[in-house]
Chains A and B, each alone.
Chain A
Amino acid sequence: MCDVCGCGQHDHSHEHDHFVVSDDTTKRNVEIKKSLLSENERVAQSNREHFDRHGILAINLISSPGSGKTTLLEKTVEALKDELKIGVLEGDIETERDAERVRAKGAAAVQLTTGGACHLEAPLVHKGFHALEKQMEGYPDILFIENVGNLVCPSSFYLGEHIRVVLISVPEGEDKPAKYPKAFKTSDVFIITKSDLLPYFDFDVEKVKKEALSLNPNLKIFVLSAKTGEGLEDWFNFLREKVQEKKAAKVEG
């Protein structure tokens, strides 16, 4: 099934560090030139291959705590559960609450508790995904990974996702793209949530969009409210389309 654990052929890295200097017989310099995150990246790559093999679209959601990730997932599950199989991995520092919330709406969900860590890493996603496979007795069409609420370090840890989504809620303020450039630079989608609150806050949507696009011109942007439903249909259509693309790619491959 997958290359990380016993469920696939165990493949330890093929890269070999090569020697550059060999000055005396007891000391030697080894050139490494690898990312400090290379172990995470190796597992993430294998997660990605695992998702691809089963035609699963994997989406990593990144935001501050309280931006509305779980609420958006609840609405998404409600709307799409009859047409798509949805699996959710819920990253949290300690509680089970978010997994229960999305399960109550009809999705399979596994809670990943990081035990204090402020971000998800690929090996935990790998383990969680196997638990989800068991729970579903099969594979989802979409896998949502709700990262730990934090706009800083989750953007440094690739999990194997196809689409990374960064969310900002209207009450958080319009300076977020400038303050957290990395989250915006590494994402594919930017969602402005809680648009129902726009009348009560100084939040200039066009200005924020422009700023986000100046950091990353390829961002696809949604403005929506899980409360009123505004903008949700565009988001659902985007997901439908991406699932179709994924399925088509699997058939070809």
Chain B
Amino acid sequence: MHETSIAMGLLDSLNQMAEREKAKKVLKVRVKIGKLSGIVVDSFVFAFNALKEQFPKLSKTELIVEETPILYRCNECGKEFEVETVFFPECPQCGSINLKLLSGEELEVVDAEIEV
């Protein structure tokens, strides 16, 4: 459900950007979404595409999602490892749960391509 409100927020801010840059259209937007961010990418893309029609400058905008992996580094033994699950893992090498999250929580709008 919150995918919809986040998609709407993105469209609002793109629309403001388009006004500010005096763009005719926004052609593409790139976002990074981490697997730990709690966003279901499919729902987000679906909501974005359903809602973009409301904005004349965004009605053709292509949304490009880069999903970033969940990466940890073990603070005990230094091992870096990737996991699939959102559950808090332990180090596969030494079993420690003293871990630093290196990536996975991203929720970032990277850039956009506009037509002026």
Assess the A26–B116 pair: CB atoms within 8 A.
Answer: yes
Distance (Å) between the CB of A53 and the closest chain B CB? 26
Assess the B108–A30 pair: CB atoms within 8 A.
Answer: no
Given contacts A16-B20, A156-B38, A214-B98, contact A34 B2 (CB under 8 A): no
CB nearest to A23 among chain B residues = B113
- 3 shortest interchain CB distances as A-B pairs: A36-B107, A39-B9, A32-B109
Assess the B37–A156 pair: CB atoms within 8 A.
Answer: yes
In the assembled complex, 9 residue pairs joining A and B whose CB atoms fall closer than 8 Å, in A order, are A32-B112, A33-B108, A33-B109, A33-B111, A36-B6, A36-B10, A36-B108, A153-B2, A215-B88
Distance (Å) between the CB of A128 and the closest chain B CB? 16
Assess the A34–B113 pair: CB atoms within 8 A.
Answer: no
Classify chain B's interface size: 35 or more
Q: Binary interface profile of B, 1-32, with partner A (CB < 8 Å = 1, else 0)?
A: 11001100110110011001101000101010
What's the tally of chain A residues with a CB closer than 8 Å to chain B?
36
Q: Binary interface profile of A, 177-203, with partner B (CB < 8 Å = 1, else 0)?
A: 111011000000000000000000000
Assess the A37–B116 pair: CB atoms within 8 A.
Answer: no
Distance (Å) between the CB of B75 and the closest chain A CB? 11
Assess the B17–A119 pair: CB atoms within 8 A.
Answer: no
> A28 on the interface (CB 8 Å rule)?
yes
Assess the B114–A153 pair: CB atoms within 8 A.
Answer: no
CB nearest to B17 among chain A residues = A17
> B74 on the interface (CB 8 Å rule)?
no
> B58 on the interface (CB 8 Å rule)?
no
Assess the A17–B2 pair: CB atoms within 8 A.
Answer: no
Given contacts A156-B38, A182-B38, contact A37 B9 (CB under 8 A): yes
Question: How far apart are the CA atoms of A156 and B107 in the complex, in Å?
Answer: 10
Assess the A179–B87 pair: CB atoms within 8 A.
Answer: yes
Question: How far apart are the CA atoms of A36 and B20 in the complex, in Å?
Answer: 18
A27 neighbours in B (Cβ, 8 Å):
27, 113-116
> B97 on the interface (CB 8 Å rule)?
yes
